[in-house]
Structure 1
Amino acid sequence: MKSVTGQSSFTIRSTETDQNGQATLPALVGYMQEAAWDNTATMGISMYELLERGLTWILQRMRVEMFRYPKHRESVTVETWASGRERVFLHRDFRVYGADRELLGQATSVWLVMDMVKRQLVSVPDFITAIEVVPGHEPLPFAKGKLSSLEHVSYEQQMPVRWHDIDLNRHVTNTRYLQWVLETLPVEVLEKQQLSEIDIIFKAESTLGDTVAATAGPDEEANTFLHKLTSTETGKELVQAKTKFNKFESLGI
């Protein structure tokens, strides 16, 4: 079997928008993951198929670029395809389109396979590697390399892990981590600037009852911030991220 490109359509709901009536990035990443689920289901390797074997998909890294955020009731189409494979790392790309094929954003991601019982990463099973990767489009540059470490903390919050933060894998869902990364920044940044890029690495699990310390600080590059999420229970670093913002004026908003 060969991999195929998937296409899923969504309409922005009011509960997925911010105070400007635009879709939030966590909502858009949620659409991407739903499109990935649809696409893998056509090849028999969706999360449900993996769970039947005691396995699951784990998102390890994602780099997103947004050119324009869709608004409430706007329809978008997410295209996604397997873009490559490196040892245990499976790459998947996304493009988000508006009306008339306007490219609103794009993303590249890295996925791993985890044993649900042992809570350990495993080699990619044969039933997945048997699928020949045929990229539907020119692959985006893989998300590779280290991010700069957060050395000087300017902003900090405590995020208790609650029931609705947990997903099917029984740990904090990655879109919640993404939300916490952004919410650590001061309101004046979120109000006056628009997130244009994020590179986020998911490094460890957090579960119900944990408390997450979310920290952030400016990077050397203008309008750019470094982020870190840490478990206060275990001391483990959960997430590392880098965000880049543009002023609303430059986006024509």
Structure 2
Amino acid sequence: MTMMDAVMSSGRLINTQSWPIGDVGDARRARPTSWRTTTRAVNGNAVLAPERFPGSGSLLERSSYCPRRNVESFSIRSYEVGENRKISIATLANLLQEVACNHARNNGFSVDGFATTLSMRKYGLIWVITRIHIEVEEYPKWGDNIEIDSWFQFQGKNGTRRDWRVTNTRTGKVIARATSTFALMNEQTRRLARINDDVRNEFCLYVLHPPSWVFVDDAVTKKPISKLSEYQHVKENLKPSLADLDMNQHVNNATYMNWILESLPREVHTKNELNSMTLEFRCECKRENTINACSSLEIDDKNDESSSTFTHLLYLVGSDKEVSRSRTTWRKPSF
């Protein structure tokens, strides 16, 4: 399946755009392009080749035109907001994931949930997310229209990253930013693997050049999260529901966020607004697992009236194996 540059029949997706090589400017200046992907031979090797839909032009050479960014617009619906008429960070995370998955699908990667390429399938490799950091300056409200811009690039020698920028389309204000890191894993052994030359060369066609980072200072997004040995708050015996599972039969990342927030007292939510969340993913969580969610206020922030920071831990009941470590920062609510 491929993305179209028109309103989908459900009305959920307002517009999608694929960015050509060399054009990394304002999304509103980019010309929308419809794509599908075929397999063709280049120098005797099978490669993925983007092709415009019938009626929009001839086959385009992969080397001269390839979507390296994806921009989608969304209208916030009533069932996506909470009691404050704003979306939650978990809802935002689902929208970020939607844009990322559409970008991968639009480029011809597999649609099994792992976004693999031909070379990755040849070596039995899949992507696994290792960390995500989201900062929200202003939460979208019911009826707001937002635009999410996302792109993919290499992170060091053996990792990749995806960045997002969220804009309120009425005001033009950037209201949220996010970044995530990924590693390769052998699907059979479940061990991390190196990015070999075949995989790197294939992905070079899709990464952004020159690189662009949504956070000018990446230090906060990479700040280590210490293990929580003692905690003040705990939500015990959390069980994934069928609705919490993704297409790979793993618990969705947004569910982790909800569990983390559920572990905090209600007064934390009513007297503060979530400013940022960082998650480090430690192991898989499946339908049959039971989770305890623990939280503790960081000592340095106990005397700060304007903001506070919590450290969180999700672990498997019965084994004490860590599922994720996370950190949240909070501010006084905006009205």
Q: Check if 1:233 corresponds to 2:318.
A: yes
Task: Indicate if the aligned counterparts of 1:7 and 1:77 stay in contact, CA closer than 8 A.
Answer: yes
Equivalent residue, structure 2, for 1:203: 282
Label 1:101 to 1:188 Cα distance change in 2 as closer, same or farther (>3 A).
same
The one-letter amino acid of 1:68's match is E
Q: Could you tell me how far 1:183 is from its partner in structure 2?
A: 1.2
Shift of 1:137: 6.8
SS of the residue corresponding to residue 92 of structure 2 reads: helix
Q: Could you tell me which residue of structure 2 aligns to residue 79 of structure 1?
A: 149
1:119 aligned partner: 190
**1:62 has 2:145 as partner:** no
- The alpha-carbon deviation at position 105 of structure 1 amounts to 0.4
Name stretches of at least 5 consecutive residues in structure 2 with no aligned partner: 1-62
1:27 aligns with 2:84: no
Deviations 1:188-220 (A, max 9, x none): 111121100111111101111211010001012
SS of the residue corresponding to residue 176 of structure 2 reads: strand
Give the Cα separation in 1 of the matches to 2:69 and 2:172: 16
Structure 2 counterparts to residues 212-231 of structure 1, below 5 A: 212-220=291-299, 221=301, 222=304, 223-231=308-316
Q: What is residue 172 of structure 2 aligned with on the other side?
A: 101
Mapped contact 1:89–1:110 kept (Cα < 8 A): yes
Q: Comparing both chains, which one has the higher relative contact order based on Cα–Cα distances under 8 Å and sequence gaps of 6 or more? A: 1
In the alignment, is the contact (CA less than 8 A) between 1:197 and 1:245 conserved in 2?
Answer: yes
* Contact 1:3/1:134 (8 A) holds in 2: no
Structure 1: runs of 5 or more not aligned: none
Aligned to 1:148: 226
Change (3 A) 1:55 1:162: farther
The amino acid that maps onto 2:173 is E
CA distance in 2, matches of 1:195, 1:127: 42
- Indicate the structure (1 or 2) with the bigger Cα radius of gyration: 2
SS at match of 2:329: strand
1:205–1:125 CA distance, 2 compared to 1 (3 A)? same
Contact kept, 8 Å, 2:137 with 2:175, in 1: the verdict is yes
Q: Distance in 1 between matches of 2:223 and 2:272?
A: 27
CA distance in 1 between partners of 2:314 and 2:292 (Å):
6
Do the aligned partners of residues 127 and 35 (structure 1) sit closer, same or farther apart at CA in structure 2, a change above 3 Å counting?
farther
TM-score (norm 1): 0.89
Please give the alpha-carbon distance, in whole angstroms, between the structure 2 residues aligned to 1:149 and 1:84.
28
1:138 and 2:212 correspond: yes
1:246 maps to a residue whose letter is: R
Q: Distance in 2 between matches of 1:44 and 1:113?
A: 19
Residue 264 of structure 2 corresponds to residue 185 of structure 1: yes
Percent identity of the aligned residues?
26
Query: Which amino acid letter does the alignment assign opposite residue 75 of structure 2?
Result: T
Shift of 1:59: 1.6
Q: What is the deviation of 1:182?
A: 1.1
Deviation at 1:128, TM superposition (A): 4.1
CA distance in structure 2 between the aligned counterparts of 1:16 and 1:107, rounded to whole angstroms? 19
RMSD, matched Cα: 2.3
- 3-state secondary structure, aligned to 1:20: coil
Distance 1:191 1:20 in 2: 10
Deviation for aligned residue 1:119: 3.4
Does the residue aligned with 1:50 lie in a helix, a strand or coil?
Answer: coil
**Partner AA of 1:15 in structure 2:** Y
Between 1:45-54 and 1:157-166, the stretch displaced more is: 45-54
Separation in 2 of the partners of 1:120 and 1:190?
Answer: 38
**Who is 2:6 aligned against?**
none
Secondary structure class of the residue paired with 2:280: strand
Give the TM-score normalised by the residue count of structure 2.
0.69
